[in-house]
Structure 1
Amino acid sequence: MLFMVVEHFDQARVKDVYVRFQERGRMAPEGLRYVESWVAADLGRCFQIMECDDVALLQEWVLQWSDLARFEIVPVATSKAAAAAVLKS
């Protein structure tokens, strides 16, 4: 399953996020796969697509970063998959 993860950063802690990532990597548990990400121009948010079959893996990952970011997680489907589902009915 795909998830859109929106990380909200405290502007004063953005550098801390990047330092931790450089030192420790994404820190995703086995079974949670990073797909792609984009960062807002003001550095206040990061939009990531993550993939896994067990939502508990997302929760485990969020706990690794919860001191530096607030998370919003939305299950999503690709536009192609959504179109196929809509046209099927």
Structure 2
Amino acid sequence: MLFMVIEHFDQARVKDVYARFQHSGRMAPAGVRYVESWVSADLGRCFQIMECDDVALLQEWVLQWNDLVRFEIVPVSTSKAAAAAITRTD
């Protein structure tokens, strides 16, 4: 499954987030695959696409960062997959 992970940063802690990332990497457990990410212009949010078959692994990852980041996790699909599901006939 694909997940849109929206990380919300406290502006006063942005440098701490990037310092931890530089030192420790993403810290995602095996089974959680990073796809791509984008950062808002004000550095207040990071939008990531992650792939994972077990949401518990995402929760494990969130616990590695919850002292610096507030997470919002939304299951998503590609537009192509959604269109195929909608137009499928049984």
Q: Please tell me the TM-score bracket, short chain as reference.
A: over 0.9
1:27-68 deviations in whole A, cap 9, x for unaligned? 000000000000000000000000010000000000000000
TM-score where L is the length of structure 1 = 0.99
Distance 2:19 2:81 in 1: 37
2:11 counterpart residue number? 11
The alignment's C-alpha RMSD in Å is 0.5
Question: Unaligned regions of 5+ residues in structure 1, if any?
Answer: none
Q: Which residue of 1 aligns with 2:50?
A: 50
Query: What is the rounded CA distance, in whole Å, between the counterparts of 2:28 and 2:19 in structure 1?
Result: 16
Query: Corresponding residue for 1:72?
Result: 72
Distance (Å, rounded) in 1 between the aligned partners of 2:31 and 2:73: 17
Q: Distance in 2 between matches of 1:9 and 1:63?
A: 15
- Provide runs of 4+ in structure 1 moved above 3 Å: none
Q: Is there any run of 5+ residues in structure 2 with no aligned partner, and where?
A: none
Q: 2:26 matched to 1:23?
A: no
The size of the alignment, in residue pairs, is 89
TM-score, with normalisation over the residues of structure 2? 0.98
